[in-house]
Amino acid sequence: MDMASKLTDAAERLFDRHGYTATGMDRLTDAAGMSSRTLYKHAGSKSALMARVLTERDRRFMARLEVHSIDALFAALEDWVRVEGCRGCLFLRARAETGGDTPEIAEAVALHKAAFQQRVGEVVAMDLGREDPVLAEQVLVLFEGATHAAVYRGPEAVSAARSAAAILLERTRA
């Protein structure tokens, strides 16, 4: 693993667990096992490092959403929270911590959420056999809500959202 990947992995673990603000550069250098000079050389700045973490997380998360049904979307989320943990959406947490005022982070969040919204719409259209922006919005809100409710309710929140999405799909088909 190269230095940049090692740094990105360490930073993601820390940002996800402690948040952007509480993760200082000293903590990052310790976790990555590198000097602050090397860290700055590879990261540029803390906000650039967070943007890189979000870009990498987006790549991994969106790869899991290469599915063809609404049920499979929620199955992918169940798998994600089982593997990654139930700490809520790192993108929305990073945006909330920075107030949307850090351009690199705001851009990474906006790109991810636009791609996510598009992907949900595509999956809904594949499952239903036609586009349905209303159902896509409902599924998106259930998915996002389940992600955050899992923080305090556990993975059962995702299972509940999965069941609700199945009911919405059934009613839309009827």
Residue 135 has pLDDT above 80, yes or no: yes
- How far apart are alpha carbons 105 and 110 in whole angstroms? 9
- How far apart are alpha carbons 20 and 42 in whole angstroms? 18
Residue 1 has pLDDT above 80, yes or no: no
Other CB atoms within 10 A of residue 7 CB: 25
Q: Report if residue 64 sits inside a domain.
A: yes
- How far apart are alpha carbons 94 and 84 in whole angstroms? 17
State the residue range of the domain holding 65. 53-173
Q: 65: domain CATH number? A: 1.10.357.10
Q: Report if residue 19 sits inside a domain.
A: no
Task: Return the minimum-mean-pLDDT range out of 31-35, 80-84, 102-106, 110-114.
Answer: 31-35
User: Average pLDDT in the 68-89 region?
Assistant: 94
Q: pLDDT tier at 42 (50, 70, 90 boundaries)?
A: confident
Q: Report if residue 16 sits inside a domain.
A: no
Separation in Å, CA 22 to CA 97, 166, 170: 10, 39, 44
Residue 114, C-beta contacts closer than 8 angstroms, at least 6 positions apart: none
